[in-house]
A and B are shown apart, each in its own frame.
Chain A
Amino acid sequence: MSEELEIKELEDVVVRFSGDSGDGMQLAGNIFSTVSATVGNSISTFPDYPADIRAPQGSLTGVSGFQVHIGAGTVYTPGDKCDVLVAMNAAALKTQYKFAKPDAAIIIDTDSFGPKDLEKAAFQTEDYLGEMGIDPDRVIACPITQMVKDCLADSGMDVKAMLKCRNMFALGLVCWLFDRDLDIAFNFLKEKFAKKAGVAEANIKVIQAGYDYGHNTHSSVANVYRIETKNKVPGRYMDITGNKATAYGLIAAAEKAGLKLYLGSYPITPATDILHELSKHKSLGVTTVQCEDEIAGCASALGASFAGALAATSTSGPGICLKSEAINLGVIMELPLVVLDVQRGGPATGLPTKSEQTDLLQVLFGRNGESPLPVLAATSPTDCFDAAFMAAKIALENMTPVVLLTDAYVANGSGALRLPDLNEYPAINPPYVTEDMKGKWTPYQRNERGVRYWAVPGTEGFTHILGGLEKDNATGAISTNPENHDLMTRLRQQKIDNIQVPDLEVVGDVDDAELLIVGFGGTYGHLHAAMDAMRAAGRKVALAHFKYIRPLPKNTAEVLMKYPKVVVAEQNMGQLAGYLRMKVDGFVPFQFNEVKGQPFTVNSLVDYFSQL
Chain B
Amino acid sequence: MEANNNNIISPSGEKQWGAADFKKGQPRWCPGCGDHFFLASLHKAMAEIGVAPKDIAVISGIGCSSRLPHYMATYGMNTIHGRAAAIATGCKVANPNLTVWQISGDGDGLAIGGNHFIHANRRNINLNMVLLNNRIYGLTKGQYSPTSPRGFVSKSSPYGTVEDPFNPVELCFGARGRFFARAVATDAPGTVEILKAAYNHKGASVCEILQNCVIFNNGTHDLVYSKENRAKNAIYLRHGEKMIFGENNQYGLAQDGFGLKVVSADDPSVLVHDAHCLDKTLQLRLALMGTPFNEKLGPLDTADGFPVALGVIRDVEAPTYDDCVTAQIEEVKAMKKYHNFAELLETNDIWEVK
Interface residues of A (CB under 8 A from B): 102, 232-240, 248, 251-252, 255, 260, 262, 264, 281-285, 287, 289, 291-293, 295-296, 299-309, 311, 325-326, 328-329, 333, 419-422, 439, 441-442, 457-469, 477-478
- Please, how many angstroms separate the alpha-carbon atoms of A305 and B115 in the complex? 22
Can you list 7 A-B contacts with CB-CB less than 8 angstroms, sorted by A residue number?
A239-B348, A248-B341, A292-B115, A303-B88, A326-B87, A457-B95, A464-B76
Q: How far is the CB of B294 from chain A (nearest CB, A)?
A: 34
Extra A-B contacts (5), CB below 8 Å, given A300-B90, A303-B90: A251-B341, A282-B336, A311-B94, A329-B83, A465-B77
Question: In the assembled complex, which residues on chain A have CB atoms less than 8 Å from the CB atom of B98?
Answer: 307, 457-458
- Please, how many angstroms separate the alpha-carbon atoms of A296 and B87 in the complex? 7
Q: How far is the CB of B347 from chain A (nearest CB, A)?
A: 9
Contact, CB under 8 Å: B94 / A308: yes
Q: How far is the CB of A414 from chain B (nearest CB, A)?
A: 12
Q: Mark B51-95, 1 if CB is under 8 A from A, else 0.
A: 011111111001000000110111111111001001111111111
Contact, CB under 8 Å: B70 / A478: yes
B344 at the interface (CB under 8 A from A): yes
B328 at the interface (CB under 8 A from A): yes
5 smallest CB-CB distances across A and B, nearest first, come from A303-B90, A300-B90, A467-B78, A304-B94, A283-B336
**Chain A contact surface mostly:** mixed
Q: How far is the CB of B336 from chain A (nearest CB, A)?
A: 4
Question: In the assembled complex, which residues on chain A have CB atoms less than 8 Å from the CB atom of B332?
Answer: 282-283
Contact, CB under 8 Å: B352 / A237: yes
Q: How far is the CB of B207 from chain A (nearest CB, A)?
A: 20
Question: In the assembled complex, which residues on chain B have CB atoms less than 8 Å from the CB atom of A262?
Answer: 90, 93-94
Contact, CB under 8 Å: A282 / B95: no
Question: Given A300-B86, A441-B1, do A284 and B344 touch, yes or no (CB 8 Å)?
Answer: yes
Question: Given A463-B53, A466-B77, do A458 and B350 touch, yes or no (CB 8 Å)?
Answer: no
Question: Given A102-B349, A283-B335, A300-B86, do A255 and B94 touch, yes or no (CB 8 Å)?
Answer: no
- Please, how many angstroms separate the alpha-carbon atoms of A232 and B54 in the complex? 52
Contact, CB under 8 Å: A422 / B342: yes
- Please, how many angstroms separate the alpha-carbon atoms of A202 and B150 in the complex? 56
Contact, CB under 8 Å: B83 / A465: no
- Please, how many angstroms separate the alpha-carbon atoms of A531 and B291 in the complex? 74
B333 at the interface (CB under 8 A from A): yes
Question: Given A233-B353, A255-B340, A307-B98, do A457 and B80 touch, yes or no (CB 8 Å)?
Answer: no
Q: How far is the CB of B314 from chain A (nearest CB, A)?
A: 22
Question: Given A301-B90, A463-B75, do A235 and B80 touch, yes or no (CB 8 Å)?
Answer: no
Contact, CB under 8 Å: B78 / A465: yes
Contact, CB under 8 Å: A306 / B57: yes
Question: In the assembled complex, which residues on chain B have CB atoms less than 8 Å from the CB atom of A296?
Answer: 83, 86, 89, 115-116, 119
- Please, how many angstroms separate the alpha-carbon atoms of A219 and B351 in the complex? 28
Contact, CB under 8 Å: A458 / B97: yes
Contact, CB under 8 Å: B89 / A289: yes
The residue of chain A having its C-beta at the shortest distance from the C-beta of B68 within the complex is A465
Q: How far is the CB of A290 from chain B (nearest CB, A)?
A: 10
- Please, how many angstroms separate the alpha-carbon atoms of A468 and B337 in the complex? 43
- Please, how many angstroms separate the alpha-carbon atoms of A248 and B349 in the complex? 15
- Please, how many angstroms separate the alpha-carbon atoms of A460 and B335 in the complex? 36
Contact, CB under 8 Å: B87 / A299: yes
